[in-house]
Structure 1
Amino acid sequence: MIGLILGTSEGKSILSLLNKFTEDILISTATEYGGELLQNYKYAYLNTKPLNLEGLKELFKEKGIRILVDASHPYAVEITDNAIKACSELNIEYVRYERASCVDKFKDHEKVIEVENYEGLYDKLKYIKGTVLNTSGSRNLDKILSLGVENRIVHRVLPSIKVMNECLSKGVKIDDIIAIKGPISYNLNCAFIKEYEAKAMILKDSGIQGGTEEKIKACVDNDIYAFIIERNTRNYKTIFYNEENLVQYIVEKLKSTKTKM
């Protein structure tokens, strides 16, 4: 059985391509919402709960996973670490699918700045006089709030009751919340920058699919700073940035395995 850890919009494309060859697939997502998005696809088993290392190992052993594709979000560090460990301990082939970065094309712009981590933002934001747009997501809200900067920070988050309650419980004012599902267009990014008179934006390198390019373009064209939280880089043994190439590799692997059997 093939294992798929899905956490990005490309997951549907990967699954659709695999369905041309097999339905013997285990899917694991971190949320029920992620599972709901896959209702029109074919698979043998669906897990919609976050799993730790032991949970992954138990699931992989129970379902007889032979090859695992980790297509989790580029910033989902914990699940990737656990998936790599689980595969190593169970002798399962680990394959990484990752969105390609789109930051390099903007590196010549002096106001497009990569920051190693959230802690490093403080030294950047303390020189910003004005409002900052935080588009790094509600899961990183504590990291932003703990910086203790004097700037007004407007947080763009998912429009769900759970997320809104989290923001309010942590002291974020209603006026400092933009509740909208991304990715959003270049024009809308520009509109938010102008509406809030923002002087900087905090974002992640989530690739073209995650709306990163539109965010950076909007920052550049409006002459404000784009502070990009860097990805945690790893040296993967097998990694793909293209869904078709990934699926072709998996299919060839499965054919090879059947031939040996």
Structure 2
Amino acid sequence: MSVERLMTLAASCFGDRVWLIGGTQESAQLSVALSRFQLPCIVTVTTESAKALYPITQSLQIWVGRLDVTHLEEFLQEQGIVAILDASHPYALEISKMAIAISLHRQIPYLRYERPAVDAEIDNNQQVIRLDSFETLLTGDYLQEQRVLLTIGYRNFPLFRPWQEKSTLFARILPSVTAMDAAYAAGFAPDRLIALRPPVPAELEKALWHHWKISLVVTKASGTAGGEDVKRRVATELGIPLVVITRPEVAYPQQTSDIEAAVEFCRYHLK
């Protein structure tokens, strides 16, 4: 039996706990709030580097890896999960859909913690181009012969490989080997990449756009935590078009953007 398996079995002896789907700044904030009340919680992340986001407490365990449908049932049973708090990235559809499906199947309470969207008033900005998908972006002529900065996450890079010959693509990525490898595989040269964890200060955004002579920026509607508000302001100031890929629609059973409400949800189901 593997060491990871033994640790998982040992951890399951602590009784009922909440499954916090993590990997985001919001999930880190929620973990701190849950720790204040010593609420038993296991947070799942996909990379070792993400572990640094979370506090070290007796009530919190961090599980690193990718869960799939095959092992999810076993995971919930071994960990004694009595409630699911989903604070994954707004574009992490797969894990959210799996969590919702199994919560309905096993009748486990589920709550989506959704990071607040950028104030709708900013949408009056004429520099902002809102598109419903990457497909809409890539089948149009938005990128043609542009110097494009992508701040979209490395998982979407393969979609842009055909455009490496039709435009000049730059990308900002998370400081991880996985992200770097994905960028290289999609045809990005080292001098067209920069590794920074968002949000990025406005002055640094402006300096980067100036340095690379960017004429178009592509981002996702990731809210303030992802620096969307800063990018919108910089786009207005510099007169550079900003393409925002809107959030995918998911039928969450229930959701909140209030940390206190999320903590109360966990407290109620851990009674």
Fold match (TM-score > 0.5): yes
Partner of 1:22: 38
For 1:231 and 1:139, locate their aligned partners in 2 and report how far apart those are by CA, in whole Å.
16
| Residue 101 to residue 13, structure 1, CA distance change in 2 (3 Å) | same
1:57 maps to 2:50: no
Residue type at the aligned position of 1:145: R
User: Residue 105 of structure 1: CA displacement?
Assistant: 2.4
Count of matched residue pairs = 255
Q: Which of residues 172, 179, 183 in structure 2 aligns to 1:167?
A: 183
Q: Runs in 1 of length 4+ with deviation above 6 angstroms?
A: none
For 1:152 and 1:106, locate their aligned partners in 2 and report how far apart those are by CA, in whole Å.
28
| Residue 227 to residue 120, structure 1, CA distance change in 2 (3 Å) | same
Per-residue CA deviation, residues 205-239 of structure 1 (Å, 9 max, x unaligned), is 11111111101111111111111111112232321
Partner of 1:234: 250
Q: Which of residues 196, 201, 211 in structure 2 aligns to 1:195?
A: 211
Listed as ranges, the gaps of 5+ residues in structure 2 are 1-16
TM-score, reference length from structure 1: 0.89
Residue type at the aligned position of 1:64: G
Which structure has greater helix proportion?
Answer: 2
| Residue 25 to residue 161, structure 1, CA distance change in 2 (3 Å) | closer
Are the equivalent residues in 1 in contact too, given 2:82–2:269 (CA < 8 A)?
no
User: Residue 106 of structure 1: CA displacement?
Assistant: 2.0
Are the equivalent residues in 2 in contact too, given 1:114–1:230 (CA < 8 A)?
yes
Q: Which of residues 236, 249, 252 in structure 1 aligns to 2:265?
A: 249
Farther-moved stretch of structure 1 (183-192 vs 16-25):
16-25
Listed as ranges, the gaps of 5+ residues in structure 1 are 256-261
Farther-moved stretch of structure 1 (152-161 vs 65-74):
152-161
For 1:161 and 1:44, locate their aligned partners in 2 and report how far apart those are by CA, in whole Å.
26
1:154 maps to 2:174: no
User: Residue 70 of structure 1: CA displacement?
Assistant: 0.6
Report the identity percentage: 27
Q: Map 1:1-261 onto structure 2 (within 5 A).
A: 1-43=17-59, 45-102=61-118, 104-126=120-142, 129-147=145-163, 150-255=166-271
User: Residue 178 of structure 1: CA displacement?
Assistant: 2.0
Per-residue CA deviation, residues 69-105 of structure 1 (Å, 9 max, x unaligned), is 0110111111101111111111101110010110622
Aligned Cα root-mean-square deviation (Å):
2.0
TM-score, reference length from structure 2: 0.86
Per-residue CA deviation, residues 136-185 of structure 1 (Å, 9 max, x unaligned), is 12221112224566121111112334432332233211222122232211
For 2:54 and 2:122, locate their aligned partners in 1 and report how far apart those are by CA, in whole Å.
34
Are the equivalent residues in 1 in contact too, given 2:155–2:182 (CA < 8 A)?
no
Partner of 2:11: none
User: Residue 203 of structure 1: CA displacement?
Assistant: 0.3
1:153 alignment partner, SS class: strand
